[in-house]
Chain A
Amino acid sequence: MIVGLLMLSSTITSLTVVLIVFFLFKEGVAVFEKKPVEDGYTIVINKNNKVRKLTSEEIKNIYDQKTTFWSQLGAKHDSIILFRVEDIANFYTEDQIGANFENLPSCLSSIVDSIPGIIAFFPEKYLAKNFKGKQLDIDKVSLKEFFGGEEWYPTAQPSAQLGVKPLILGTLWVSFGAILLALPLGLAAAIYMSEIADERIRRIMKPLIELLAGIPSVVYGFFGLVIIVPIIQKIFNLPVGETGLAGSIVLGIMALPTIITISEDAMRNTPREMKEASLALGASKWQTIYKIVIPYSISGISAAAILGIGRAVGETMAVLMVTGNAAVIPHSILEPMRTIPATIAAELGEAPSGGLHYKALFALGCILFVITLVINLTVEFVSSRRKGGNH
């Protein structure tokens, strides 16, 4: 009976995990089934235009007026004429269109027919039955675009830009910066607590550090926003203080308790006899620390570092509050950055359920999941090496 209950609860837990992962990937992978154009909209061109297919990037370049001739896309040398549905007023009067837009489809149809270089973007419902233009075939979101694209404008019209590179890079920059700050500090604290501080100081410090792990992340974010952001702005004389660095500092502080407690535990596991043997051979305390204690506990220390990174990679709220959230490829830690978790948290509420943007956010979740999975597997690997006694 009890065995059954225990088995049931562990089965439920495992099933939940599997279900979450399945759901995440089902939604996330579906982004590659979608076209990067908002549902219910269409893009049309003149029927004599040879172009059949465009990628979202090509469409974006057209609308950004970077591509101005069809010849750049392999067609006749016509200059590209952009047309949005509101431009209809330049061609027809309100009377001609009709009070309830009842003549709009045929108006659009004849405009597209009369201008050879036109590209028009309008809702599909205004497509006339005997439309005299050609509907563009738009490529589905490709892996190359998704991972290689450098712009994240999931709601851009007419064609969404779903390049996750700036987000991945932002996540890595912020996390890497965090670990760069937290690791030396955390290791120093761990060495101090395990090897130098006497028992009394340790008994005060350890709970304090563990308390740091219990502070809600919004509080960290708030602290970062009120204290760290203005300081960074002042020191580096920046227009805004919300930068990757601010995120790194806040995340570094958040990763500290993990790093300190785990590496301290590992160091305290160094057998006393081993340290004594080193000291008895005339090694100084420092020599003993870096020649015996650190090598002995190196797998624990690496596990601490990796778990610290894991904490930093997955953190959402605090980062969202202090990094400035600009989805551009970062060139320095002093620029605003946007991380994957912050993107999901900030945008999911605005993304229509089941739409392109929504699926793209789930795909981001998949990426995050893979990153943390890799981190966890690394920890497993590192600590299994320790158990094997392979020093």
Chain B
Amino acid sequence: MYKLESKHVDFFYGASQALKDINISIEENTVTALIGPSGCGKSTYLRLFNRMNDLISNTTIKGEVLIDGLDVYAKGVNVDSLRKKTGMVFQKPNPFPKTIFENVAYGLRVNGITDEKLIQERVESSIKKVVLWDEVKDKLKKSAFELSGGQQQRLCIARALAIQPSVILMDEPTSALDPISTAKIEELVYELKSKYTIVIVTHNMQQAARVSDKTAFFYLGELIEFNITRELFTNPMVERTQNYITGRFG
């Protein structure tokens, strides 16, 4: 069984169709990159898995989006608990206006965990997983805004890991970061792969090539090609993919 799957997914913002008949299957513990020019629907697609598109009014979805074989858009699905299964990392680092500790603890607290010892442990292990512990262990009580952009983004990843999701959705996580911070995040993605299924939207094709096992190329709401990353970059089957990855448009 695939970890994540979408079957004949159509998605509409009002009357305009943003995704057309998308079929993708993603295996557990892999990294999948979604690439394509702006407005191609890759972020929209990513946000289907934790139903973040629900926040936008006047949208409709057809087809099936499955996590562990269960349709996330089925009737009776509790969106809040669905979102606990999926951690999300956003374009810009977006820590809460709280302390470093409370940022990571937030997901636990809103999910009703009150055992301070457990929270303490989870916060520490999550921050360790993103290799931030040594940098922040002495200032856990300070505002998260005091961290650099790259540190903030790793904190946001730690925040997502704290609720122990099995899937991590990353929406251009390095687009606002400098090369060194970007390299750290990429390294992290590679390490997290052993425990999580990761889907990463990126504008940066080198990044997709570096971190992902499989890559999906979107264009104007259509899935043009979905293949093993090396194959897609070295031997694309569709001409449009070829044109995009060689920089002829995009």
> Using a CB-CB cutoff of 8 Å, which residues 8-50 of chain B contact chain A?
50
Kindly state whether residue B230 has any CB partner on chain A within 8 Å.
no
Kindly state whether residue A283 has any CB partner on chain B within 8 Å.
yes
Q: Is the CB of B159 within 8 A of A277?
A: yes
Which of A90-98, A284-292, A324-332 binds B? Answer: A284-292
Q: Is the CB of A282 within 8 A of B55?
A: no
Which of B68-76, B78-86, B116-124 binds A? Answer: B78-86
Compute the total of residue contacts between A and B using a CB distance below 8 Å. 70
Minimum Cβ distance to chain B for residue A325 (Å): 46
Q: Is the CB of B52 within 8 A of A281?
A: no
Kindly state whether residue A86 has any CB partner on chain B within 8 Å.
no
Contacts of A291 on B, CB cut-off 8 Å? 106, 110
CA separation between A276 and B171, bound complex, in Å? 12
| Contact for A391 among B50, B83, B143, CB less than 8 A | B143
Minimum Cβ distance to chain B for residue A104 (Å): 80
CA separation between A295 and B57, bound complex, in Å? 25
Minimum Cβ distance to chain B for residue A279 (Å): 7
Minimum Cβ distance to chain B for residue A291 (Å): 7
Minimum Cβ distance to chain B for residue A356 (Å): 55
| Contact for B163 among A281, A284, A391, CB less than 8 A | A281
| Contact for B88 among A274, A277, A284, A287, CB less than 8 A | A277
Q: Is the CB of A276 within 8 A of B52?
A: yes
Kindly state whether residue B244 has any CB partner on chain A within 8 Å.
no
Q: Is the CB of B92 within 8 A of A273?
A: yes
Minimum Cβ distance to chain B for residue A115 (Å): 78
Kindly state whether residue B94 has any CB partner on chain A within 8 Å.
yes
Contacts of B97 on A, CB cut-off 8 Å? 274, 295-296, 391
What total of chain A residues lie within 8 Å of the partner, measured CB to CB? Answer: 21
Q: Is the CB of A198 within 8 A of B84?
A: no
> Using a CB-CB cutoff of 8 Å, which residues 88-137 of chain B contact chain A?
88, 90-92, 94, 96-98, 106-107, 110-111
Q: Is the CB of B80 within 8 A of A284?
A: yes
Kindly state whether residue B156 has any CB partner on chain A within 8 Å.
yes
List the A residue with the shortest CB-CB distance to B169. Answer: A280
Q: Given contacts A199-B57, A274-B96, is CB(A281)–CB(B90) below 8 Å?
A: no
Kindly state whether residue B233 has any CB partner on chain A within 8 Å.
no
Q: Is the CB of B145 within 8 A of A281?
A: no
Kindly state whether residue A389 has any CB partner on chain B within 8 Å.
yes
Minimum Cβ distance to chain B for residue A299 (Å): 11
Minimum Cβ distance to chain B for residue A343 (Å): 44
Q: Is the CB of B96 within 8 A of A292?
A: yes
CA separation between A180 and B187, bound complex, in Å? 54
List the B residue with the shortest CB-CB distance to A296. Answer: B97
Q: Given contacts A276-B90, A277-B90, A295-B97, is CB(A282)–CB(B83) below 8 Å?
A: yes
Contacts of B106 on A, CB cut-off 8 Å? 278, 281, 283, 291
| Contact for B110 among A199, A282, A391, CB less than 8 A | A282
Kindly state whether residue A4 has any CB partner on chain B within 8 Å.
no
Minimum Cβ distance to chain A for residue B58 (Å): 9
Kindly state whether residue A271 has any CB partner on chain B within 8 Å.
yes
Contacts of B81 on A, CB cut-off 8 Å? 282
Q: Is the CB of B160 within 8 A of A280?
A: yes
> Using a CB-CB cutoff of 8 Å, which residues 286-342 of chain A contact chain B?
287, 291-292, 295-296
Q: Is the CB of A279 within 8 A of B83?
A: yes
| Contact for B90 among A273, A283, A295, A389, CB less than 8 A | A273
| Contact for A280 among B57, B86, B92, B143, CB less than 8 A | B86
Further pairs besides A279-B52, A281-B84: 15, Cβ < 8 Å: A273-B92, A274-B94, A276-B94, A277-B90, A277-B159, A278-B106, A278-B110, A279-B83, A280-B88, A281-B83, A283-B107, A287-B110, A292-B96, A391-B97, A391-B145
What is the interface of chain A, defined by CB distance below 8 A to chain B? Answer: 198-199, 271, 273-274, 276-284, 287, 291-292, 295-296, 389, 391
The 7 closest A-B pairs by CB, nearest first: A391-B97, A281-B107, A282-B84, A280-B88, A283-B110, A273-B94, A282-B83
16 A–B pairs (Cβ distance < 8 Å), ordered by A: A199-B57, A277-B159, A278-B96, A278-B106, A280-B50, A280-B52, A280-B160, A281-B87, A281-B111, A281-B163, A282-B81, A283-B106, A283-B111, A287-B110, A291-B110, A391-B97
